């Protein structure tokens, strides 16, 4: 049984269109592309890119869709807030927080 302080495990069911959108999104920013460049696997702040991609992939205005429940749980955990209609990370989201993007990219 998980302790009361540990968040529940969340599984994202990736659809083909979700994976395609993830790749399109990553291609829009050079620093995100670097996550895949040879020799860049040791980026010290890689978790920040994973966080930013996760926030960009699950837009606030679409969060009611079932496949976006992960970001809503992040809001409940205090990891994100909504500012000007967009998700913004809080100080609680640090290098120890896992997210579906980090898990997907690390596969």
Taking the model in full, what pTM does it have? 0.71
The answer to whether residue 22 is domain-embedded is: yes
**C-alpha pair distances (Å), 12 with each of 27, 34, 79, 99:** 22, 24, 17, 10
pLDDT tens for the chain, 107 residues long, are: 444 455 444 455 667 777 788 888 888 888 888 777 655 555 667 888 888 988 888 777 665 555 677 888 889 999 999 999 889 999 999 988 888 887 777 65
Which sign does the torsion angle of CA 65, 60, 89, 42 carry? Answer: positive
pLDDT at site 1: 42
The answer to whether residue 80 is domain-embedded is: yes
The answer to whether residue 56 is domain-embedded is: yes
The answer to whether residue 68 is domain-embedded is: yes
pLDDT at site 38: 59
**Interatomic CA distance for residues 69 and 8, integer angstroms:** 12
pLDDT at site 31: 80
The answer to whether residue 3 is domain-embedded is: no
Residue 9 is classified by DSSP as: P
The answer to whether residue 10 is domain-embedded is: no
| Residue 88 lies in domain | 16-105
What domain count does the chain have?
A: 1
DSSP string, 38-65: TT-TT-TTHHHHHHHHHHHHS-GGGTTS
Distance, C-alpha 106 to centroid of its chain: 12
**Interatomic CA distance for residues 95 and 31, integer angstroms:** 17
pLDDT at site 107: 56
């Amino acid at each position: 049984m998980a302790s009361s302080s540990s968040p529940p495990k969340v599984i994202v069911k990736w659809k083909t269109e979700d994976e395609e959108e993830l790749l399109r999104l990553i291609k829009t920013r050079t620093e995100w592309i670097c996550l895949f460049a040879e020799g860049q696997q040791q980026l010290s702040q890689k978790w920040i890119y994973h966080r930013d991609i996760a926030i960009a992939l699950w837009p606030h205005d679409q969060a009611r869709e079932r496949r976006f429940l992960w970001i809503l749980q992040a809001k409940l955990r205090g990891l994100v807030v909504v500012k000007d209609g967009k998700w913004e990370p809080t100080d609680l989201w640090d290098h120890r927080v896992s997210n579906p993007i980090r898990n997907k990219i690390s596969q």
